């Protein structure tokens, strides 16, 4: 649902602090629907790439050139997401995922895997990534950014987007940021309704981006933390 605004992966690679681990369980009002919103591991990179591409192809149909969407390949994004997760400074940034079903037995969060262990891949329904703002007019020490948030179309309406956003906002707050921003395509009405419903508002900043080979305009949303 976020815009296409891209930047370098965070540096660091620290283990997940307790404050991040403790905010990641979210339960809907339906007692049969218990969804774990948890930190991503490098083993999730393939599924994150798949959700990323499938979400673009669904959410951006009619908003970006169809030929571009048709040629998106999840395999092209796996290594990038793996590096991003492995390089994340979890004290200031993070990637959270919403599994499509139950977690694999014996799952341990990123930074806690036994030496030499390979986490079992989980099928994911959505993810969110966040960290310090990349905007030139922002102080990254105090302004955080939700850089990417996507949920598969077949999981829309289950509250996963709200739970992912809640986890990101809570971690940004605990990391010491006082505000957060995100970017979205002006024509992405569904995403803009979602952001407004969960406490974000447009702040008048506009970004012109041609990095994908065609022009895109994005608008910025902002919210105070908490």
Q: What is the pLDDT of residue 110?
A: 42
CA angle 183, 43, 104 (to 5 degrees): 110
Total domains in the fold of the chain: 1
What are 19-54's pLDDT values in tens digits?
Answer: 444 444 443 444 444 568 999 999 999 999 999 999
Is residue 115 in some structural domain? no
Is residue 10 in some structural domain? no
Is residue 156 in some structural domain? yes
Return the higher-pLDDT residue of 117 and 186. Answer: 186
Quick check: 130 and 171 in contact, CB under 8 A?
Answer: yes
What are 63-118's pLDDT values in tens digits?
Answer: 999 999 999 999 999 999 999 999 999 999 999 999 997 544 333 344 444 444 44
CATH number of the domain enclosing 50? 3.40.630.30
Q: What is the pLDDT of residue 3?
A: 54
Is residue 180 in some structural domain? yes
Is residue 127 in some structural domain? yes
Is residue 154 in some structural domain? yes
Domain of 156, in residue numbers: 18-105+123-224
Is residue 9 in some structural domain? no
- The reported pTM is 0.81
Tokens of 205: 């900043």
Is residue 52 in some structural domain? yes
């Amino acid at each position: 649902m976020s815009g296409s605004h891209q930047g370098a992966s965070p540096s660091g690679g620290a283990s997940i602090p307790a404050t991040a681990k403790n905010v990641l369980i979210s339960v809907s009002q339906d007692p049969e629907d218990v969804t774990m919103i948890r930190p991503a591991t490098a083993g999730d990179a393939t599924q994150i790439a798949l959700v990323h591409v499938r979400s673009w192809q669904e959410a951006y149909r009619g908003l970006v050139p169809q030929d571009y969407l048709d040629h998106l390949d999840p395999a092209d994004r796996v290594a990038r997401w793996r590096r991003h997760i492995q390089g994340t400074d979890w004290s200031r940034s993070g990637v959270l995922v919403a599994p499509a079903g139950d977690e694999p037995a014996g799952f341990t969060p990123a930074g806690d895997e036994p030496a030499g262990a390979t986490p079992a891949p989980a099928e994911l329904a959505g993810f969110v990534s966040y960290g310090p703002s990349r905007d030139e007019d922002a102080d990254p020490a105090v302004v955080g950014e939700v850089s990417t948030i996507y949920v598969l179309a077949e999981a829309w309406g289950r509250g996963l987007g709200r739970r992912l956003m809640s986890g990101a906002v809570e971690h940004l707050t605990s990391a010491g940021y006082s505000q957060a921003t995100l970017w979205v395509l002006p024509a992405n009405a569904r995403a803009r309704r979602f952001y407004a419903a969960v406490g974000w508002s447009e702040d008048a900043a506009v970004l012109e981006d041609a990095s994908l080979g065609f022009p895109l305009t994005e608008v910025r949303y902002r919210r105070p933390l908490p």
